[in-house]
Amino acid sequence: MNIGQAARASGVSAKMIRYYEQIGLVRPAERTDSNYRSFDEKNVNELRFIKRARNLGFSVEEITNLLSLWRDRARPSREVKAIAEDHVAELEGRIAEMQAMADTLRHLSGCCAGDDRPDCPILMDLAAGDPRPAGTGRRTAKGRFGG
């Protein structure tokens, strides 16, 4: 199986398969005589696993851990659950922050006439409002969902 076929079969782009190999998320694929990567069903299953985990918002780092637990037939489910719960907590934190932003903006929008006149509570708030740090615990890394 070529990288393109593996990509279509797994839903992970060829570009990303190479990237995942490069950063060590998956083991380097076998190579043919002509240096083409070669994939089997097992590889594709792993890629699908990764794809689904990404769709649930897990970072590559978290997936590294999930993958090694997946491969370990003797893993305690406790460890998997812990990763999942941590991730849920992080998601909830980010949701709460964005919810606060959206709430504030909806309120301001509601106060804004939205007509031809220049008076605008949204701009007034931006110009004079308190800093409003959008949640206290600043996220430090891992800009997920980025372009």
Residues near a second copy (CB under 8 A): 11, 45, 48-49, 51-53, 55-57, 66, 69-70, 72-78, 80-82, 84-85, 87-88, 91-92, 94-95, 97-99, 101-102, 104-106, 108-109, 112-120, 122-123, 125-127, 129, 131-134, 139-147
Q: Is position 143 an interface residue for DNA (rule: CB under 7 A)?
A: yes
3-class DSSP string for the chain:
CCHHHHHHHHCCCHHHHHHHHHCCCCCCCEECCCCCEECCHHHHHHHHHHHHHHHCCCCHHHHHHHHHHHHCCCCCHHHHHHHHHHHHHHHHHHHHHHHHHHHHHHHHHHHCCCCCCCCCHHHHHHHHCCCCCCCCCCCCCCCCCCC
Residues found near DNA in the complex (CB under 7 A): 2-5, 13-16, 18-19, 32-37, 54, 59-61, 141-144, 146-147
